[in-house]
Chain A
Amino acid sequence: MKSPVPDTRNSLILRLPDKHDVEAWDQFVSIYEPLVYRLARSKGLQDADAREVVQEVLVSVSRAIEQWEFDPERGRFRDWLFRIARNLMIKFMTRRKHRPIGTGDSGIAQMLEQHADPVSEEESERFDLEYRREVFRWAAEQVQEQVKERTWQAFWLSSIEGHQTEDVALKLEMSVGAIHIARSRIRSRLREAIKTLEQDNTENISSHNAR
């Protein structure tokens, strides 16, 4: 006999009638998919198992959304979503084996068993660092879509890869001044993009800034 499985197909559409909440979910998924995947891989899981973990985390969170309805006083959906996901994930990373998280999946149970140490500051710090990395990655993807390819290249080659402005200018056939404009333009937009998440989810960002 197969064990009963949660059916997630429709819970979300029932739980998220608000368009903004659906957007928040989308944003959440695009940050958490790679986040959970990378954390799982760094714990030594294989590709397929890491994907399963991603699914399980998303399923757990989407099931938690059932409780969202009961208490609108909790604040905005987006805040709540990122908060429970963070807590759930840190628990996934540190939970002891005799108390499984409830999805009963072997991949997760395995991961939890292999890392049975009590919760460490390290885990939550590492989570926050990797979370922030995904926020920046997400923001970068948003911004890249909003600007011309050449503008993005100018920023990436000079600000991220650290090439000399003159070399980049030569390579992209732009003036040095245009590279400066591009870098300012991208920085300002990155900041805006990151802020949309920051406002809603202050603790994750600010706790890390205090580092």
Chain B
Amino acid sequence: MTSHLKHTNDTELQILLCGDEDSDEYRRTAAHVETCEACQKRLDTVAGPTQLDAETRELLSDYPWEALSNSRTGFQGTDGLPDQAESLTFLNPPSHPEMLGRLGRYEIERMIGSGGMGLVLKAFDTELNRPVAIKVLAQHLAHSGAARQRFARESRAVAAVVHEHVVAIHNVEADDQNPFLVMQYVAGESLQARVDREGPLDAKEVMRIGIQAASGLAAAHEQGVIHRDVKPANILLEQGVERILLTDFGLARTVDDASLTHTGIIAGTPHYMSPEQANGDTIDQRTDLFSLGSVLYFMATGRPPFRAERAMGVLNRVCHDTHRPVWQVNSDIPDDLSDIIDRLLEKKASRRFASAVEVRESLVRLLARTQQHGTRHRNRVKSFVRQRPFLSSGAIVCLASVIVAGFMFIPSSVERTRFRSIQPTEPVAPDNNISLAQQDQAIAAESAVYSATAQEISARLQQLEATSNAAQFAQPASDGFWQDSASFKVRLDQLERDTFRDSSISSTKEER
């Protein structure tokens, strides 16, 4: 029966189970076992109990595989953007030889550029006889149902914003599957390109562009549209005319949806993100004001306020570091402009300007004053004060949020302990077996304590409702940490120290 004389040993059996099917030892061993029932039996035993086969069959034989592909809302394993040749395959052949291709009624002239979301093409609308810019969702995003829907939905919202400083959306269309956005073509360059080429702009230019950007944002905010991705690359400077246009309103969410399921890798630059965005907190219109502050900073100094080698480092600094004031980096920038930027860059949204309209008005007043009376600049004494990290509002805000976070844990832990100890007869259930009624009681008890604490805490709590609800059930019942409220104090102290240490370190770094 056996073609080879020797039976296999355990190591060889392991090779059959785990080894490389193309290796010589695998083939050699397989050749024997294929024809040796004794060795097959042993292999079968080593492979584990056969009930697993039965269970696999029970669970997978009628698995709904079609539902699987539907459920995958994110894109699978796509890294980086496709190259141009591949990425233009969706185009139909052109009707003129000098064109790249056709998309519906649009003749594609050339590719203008690409970003985190897809390609921007220059095209000609053959029906209305005008040049247009077309934004096509990148292939990897087009595969995501959620991203596609969001793209279309948000684009329509933006289309409602009609303003001289907002790029007009002509149309949202779809070719087979891929949605694309037809918009006003802006001949010129982006603010990013301009500053890269020419370096920092002068103060009046910063104000002029700032005023236009703020009024574009104000118009959008009035319609309930948040930009979410204000940055120099999304500010277009029209050639020959002194006019800027904001583009890419609201589209950042398209990328969010897809990348969420792909470990949250950032597409595009994180430099202009607000702390609340970086933290994944709830955002409102004031996120755009922070980003606008970063853009003004960039125009005035030639670089964004927070820099680091890696994206994560940038975001950490956005959340925790105090920027170096503009007037220290570029002494040509007047104090008042530097102060406006500081206020836009407040970590806490409530400390920023209340609206884009307010920003616009402040800048208009400042520009008028500058043109009439010139500018004011700080002397050295002030500069000394300004450099103390402990006086920086950022550090204080950070500390406050740490303390708030600390408070959030104290009542919840105390309540948990009490809740457990008054019901000693209850069988000790593993956490995931706590009944809903118990969960609800615990939540009710917690919220009673919460409502007694300061307003700020409860506001923050509301934001984190989903978070705390979820996390509350995650602690193992035996977790000694939660029984010991003294350790909170220790922990809080440590956090406090860390916060101050971090912020002083980073601001020293920033001075260099």
Contact = CB atoms under 8 A, between A and B. Distances in A.
A140 B273 CA distance: 40
A9 B56 contact: no
Nearest to B221: A1
A181 B13 CA distance: 10
B300 interface: no
A118 B67 contact: no
A51 B145 contact: yes
B430 interface: yes
Given A9-B256, A10-B278, A64-B471, A4 B283 contact: yes
Interface residues of B, number: 96
Interface in B436-459: 436-437, 439-440, 443
Contact of B468 (A67, A74, A181): A67
A38 B53 contact: no
A124 to B, nearest CB: 8
Given A58-B260, A160-B56, A177-B35, A67 B72 contact: no
B474 A2 contact: no
Given A10-B280, A74-B475, A181-B40, A188 B18 contact: yes
Interface in B56-80: 56-57, 59-61, 63-64, 67-68, 70-74
B436 A91 contact: yes
Contacts of A13: 263-266, 311-312, 315
B18 A181 contact: no
Given A4-B282, A88-B470, A136-B56, A184 B436 contact: no
Contact of B17 (A11, A17, A51, A189): A189
Interface string B144-184: 01100100000001000000000000000000000000000
Nearest to B267: A9
Contacts of A137: 59-60, 63, 68
Nearest to A180: B40
Contacts of B16: 181, 184-185
B146 A55 contact: yes
Interface string B188-212: 0000000000000000000000000
Given A37-B71, A88-B470, A188-B47, A8 B60 contact: no
B73 A7 contact: no
Nearest to B225: A2
Contact of A6 (B21, B64, B145, B280): B280
A91 B471 CA distance: 13
B371 interface: no
Interface in A64-106: 64, 66-68, 70-71, 73-75, 80, 83-84, 86-88, 91, 94-95, 99, 101-103
A109 interface: no
Nearest to B431: A83
Contact residues of B: prevailing secondary structure: helix
B115 interface: no
Given A73-B479, A91-B439, A136-B60, A191 B48 contact: yes
Contact of B470 (A10, A70, A84): A84
A175 B253 CA distance: 54
Nearest to B53: A159
A86 B430 CA distance: 13
Given A73-B479, A102-B466, A119-B436, A190 B256 contact: no
Contacts of A170: none
Contact of B47 (A83, A94, A187): A187
Contacts of A99: 440, 443
A63 B466 CA distance: 8
B55 interface: yes
Contact of B73 (A55, A68, A132, A207): A55
B260 A59 contact: yes
Interface string A172-186: 000101101101110
B436 A94 contact: yes
Chain A interface size range: 35 or more
A5 B283 contact: yes
Chain B CB within 10 Å, residue with most, of A6, A124, A204? A6
A48 B149 contact: yes
Nearest to A141: B68
Contacts of B259: 9
B44 A14 contact: no
Nearest to B438: A119
A203 B432 contact: yes
A7 B465 contact: no
Interface in B380-419: 405, 409
B224 A22 contact: no
A181 B30 contact: yes
B405 A70 contact: yes
A30 B56 CA distance: 18
Interface in B3-59: 16-18, 21, 30, 33-36, 40, 43-44, 46-48, 50, 52-53, 55-57, 59
Contacts of A70: 405, 409
A34 B72 contact: yes
A202 B491 CA distance: 30
B445 to A, nearest CB: 14
Contacts of B280: 6-12, 14, 62-63, 66
16 contacts: A2-B224, A8-B256, A9-B280, A14-B280, A51-B70, A58-B261, A64-B470, A159-B53, A180-B40, A183-B53, A184-B47, A187-B53, A188-B18, A188-B47, A188-B48, A191-B52
Interface of B: 16-18, 21, 30, 33-36, 40, 43-44, 46-48, 50, 52-53, 55-57, 59-61, 63-64, 67-68, 70-74, 145-146, 149, 157, 224-226, 228, 252-253, 255-257, 259-261, 263-266, 270, 273, 276-284, 287, 311-312, 315-316, 319, 405, 409, 430-433, 435-437, 439-440, 443, 464-471, 473-476, 479, 481
